A = this chain, B = another copy of it.
């Protein structure tokens, strides 16, 4: 399946090259293959025509005075478009209809720092503040602008829930038709979140793999003409949205790099793009050039990358996911090898925690900072704790933990162990007996 999809995409890549695209997306100079380096003009393609490697956006970033660029950014809107000079989007993007995600809170987490023994400054980058309450709004926002540039009329994706909502919401605001594909047996709540925006939502009789296979076929068929799949044929643009997390963290720290960042790993794309963003800021002179460490966080029940890291392997062996952290449950992560490279190059690590530790970490973050995280946030907080205990993360250095989603979307994870302290009759005597006064 994957082979067929790639071959079909590679054929499109050749076609795009021959037609010499005239699309302009800000500083994006083209696409380049992450494996062999071959360049392609901007287009709705994601696989290299030569080696089938993944394509990513290559830039001609603004040169000149860093101070002037910094001022330009600071004068921009309070969303990701303040970084438009560094993103594959038109210069006038802020005026187009879009959900305008980003510039979420970087919370100085002093209470959590005390619990974890971090003395160098601990921060939580809380992406639950985005329009549909996950970091997906960032990546979808960039994909929307690419879809507009390429003349697509329908936005689509395969999803197990969160992405479906992000695409549905963004499409309606931006004036696209949307048609999103999900496994037919998703939980009722997730179906509602995906369907409420009113675009077409199609349940596929099969599992998530079946949904993906179907989408690959649709892209290669005339039926899919005019369709932008945010996480397939728009993936090179989509992925760049995660760079904005790096930009925001540094700007919110006063244009400084953090010493350490802990990032959840699903496909691994987010982690690699945050690293890309940090390197860009250094190249542009917007932050000092000094070392930083990147840590990857997985759930034990889906830990192909941390398993490879700890075994010292370069190859990531696929796993069959079985974890409550469903938004991280990608058993065969496309960017796994890149994650291993980055963790090793920067002196970081990749670690995992089990489901019980995920739940404990969700509650730890909630009771220290009042932030109710999705299971993925429990994974990053739990892994941070574990890394400190193992001596792999230095508590005397400044550390940023990512919370990429919202606990309201994964209530089931904490429900069995979260309830009232007491249930009493409405009387002062009953309250006194419960021992809760004072």
Query: Chain A interface (Cβ within 8 Å of chain B)?
Result: 78, 97, 99-100, 103, 105, 110-111, 129, 131-133, 154, 165, 168-173, 175, 179, 182, 184, 188-189, 191-193, 195-206, 210-211, 213-214, 217-218, 221, 223-224, 226, 362-363, 366-372, 406-409, 411, 414-415, 418-428, 431-432, 434, 436-438
Contact = CB atoms under 8 A, between A and B. Distances in A.
Nearest to A172: B370
Nearest to A174: B370
Given A198-B367, A204-B426, A218-B431, 18 more contacts: A78-B103, A133-B133, A133-B408, A169-B371, A171-B370, A172-B368, A172-B370, A182-B420, A188-B415, A191-B420, A192-B419, A196-B363, A200-B422, A203-B422, A203-B424, A205-B423, A214-B427, A223-B432
Contact of A201 (B111, B371, B420): B420
Nearest to A432: B223
Contacts of A192: 411, 414-415, 418-419
Contacts of A132: 370, 372
A191 B131 contact: no
B362 A196 contact: yes
A99 B370 contact: yes
A336 to B, nearest CB: 26
A303 to B, nearest CB: 25
A23 to B, nearest CB: 23
A204 B411 CA distance: 23
A62 B313 CA distance: 65
Contacts of A214: 426-428, 431
A203 B224 CA distance: 54
A111 B173 contact: yes
Contacts of A436: 179, 200, 202
A172 B369 contact: yes
B97 A197 contact: no
A198 B417 CA distance: 11
24 contacts: A78-B103, A100-B105, A132-B370, A132-B372, A133-B406, A169-B371, A173-B368, A173-B369, A189-B415, A191-B419, A192-B411, A192-B414, A192-B415, A196-B414, A197-B366, A197-B370, A202-B420, A202-B422, A203-B420, A204-B425, A214-B431, A218-B431, A408-B408, A408-B409
